[in-house]
Amino acid sequence: MIKIFYKSKGQIHTTSEANQLRDSLGFDDVLWIDLFEAEKAETEVVEEFLETTLQSRAQAEEIESSSRYSETDNSIFANTDFITPGGETGYKEESVSFVISEGVLVTTRQAPLRTITDFQRRMLYSSYSYKLYPTGYHIFVSIMENRVDLDADMIELMAKEIESFGRNVNVGGKVSESFLLNINKMQENTMMVRENIVDKQRIVTALIRSDKFPSDIRPRLDVLVNDIASLLNHTTFNFERLEYLQNTVLGLINLDQNKIMRVLTFVSLLFMPPTLISGIYGMNIKLPIFGEEFLLRDFGVVIFVMVLSVIIASIIFKNRRLIK
């Protein structure tokens, strides 16, 4: 599917007819071409219009993170990932390719993205959209600003979830294997978000160094870099909280295990003297207190000695504070 946003009579309009790029629209008219799961014919029309080659999804995903931004004499190429809900960890990354040629922005994607959908709706229904987005450069920066705002909301939601984990530990809630797995899952999500934000930071920094961007956009890029830096600090803080929380949970688990081992050790030590006594008097030899006419009395003596050994062992362990 293709969406072409163009300016006409002081307003921004949209069309889904790719052939208009050949028939009636020129570089001075077109602002943004959004290719969402576009067919090959639509992509070819856009490539012919821009006189350049667009990257496929496979090519965009294979690009190294250090090479996600490049420039030619008349074009800027940028590739980044947008995080969306889904996947095994709760989030997944969707590749988006940006091309700006002669002031015309082209986005290529294979998944519906809230960032782009919301921005398209706002751009079409705003009465000042023509003044706010006069070129593809302004649209690209606005998309990045919108994406950073969504990333900030995502990090805030993650921080609230981490806070709920901490409250559960503080009130003595149940700490189980699933709880630890949830913390580990949150750590993976935090690292994914941080890597994604770092990727955007590299692109915005490269845009600041570029001489192709209009001068009126540079203050917005400076603010965007500062916002991204604050998000990185927030994700670092969230990760440190998760690590601290994980260490606390592991410490509580170790304390519970130590209590169990202490009880088992105490029970084992209590039964060691009776076991020794029963072993001695169970030997197949004649002992001084044994006699055929005094079997009941001798049995009572052995039981008494065994109970007495347990009592003495308990007193010794309590005095040495081995048990509470």
| pLDDT, tens digit, 9 for 90 and up, residues 93-127 | 888 888 888 788 888 888 888 888 888 888 877 66
pLDDT tens digits for 5-63? Answer: 877 777 787 787 777 777 677 767 788 888 888 778 887 777 777 777 776 555 555 55
Given a cut of 70, whether residue 297 has pLDDT beyond it is: no
Answer whether residue 65 shows pLDDT above 60.
no
Residues of the chain with CATH 3.30.460.20: 2-253
Beta strands in 21-136 (DSSP E): 30-36, 69-71, 75-85, 91-101, 104-109
CATH architecture, domain 2-253: 2-Layer Sandwich (3.30)
CA–CA gap between residue 269 and residue 265 (Å, rounded): 6
In angstroms, the Cα distances linking 290 to 63, 80, 84, 275, 304 are: 90, 90, 83, 19, 15
The pTM is what? 0.72
Please name the residue that has the structure tokens 């986005």.
Answer: 107
To which H or E segment does residue 310 belong? helix 295-319
Torsion of CA 247, 248, 253, 257, to 10 degrees: 90
Closest CA to 237 of 194, 201, 198: 194
323 or 206, higher pLDDT? 206
56 secondary structure, DSSP code? P
Q: What value does the mean pLDDT take over residues 241-259?
A: 77
Residue 148 in this model has a pLDDT that exceeds 80: yes
As given in the structure block, the two tokens for residue 157 are 């939601």
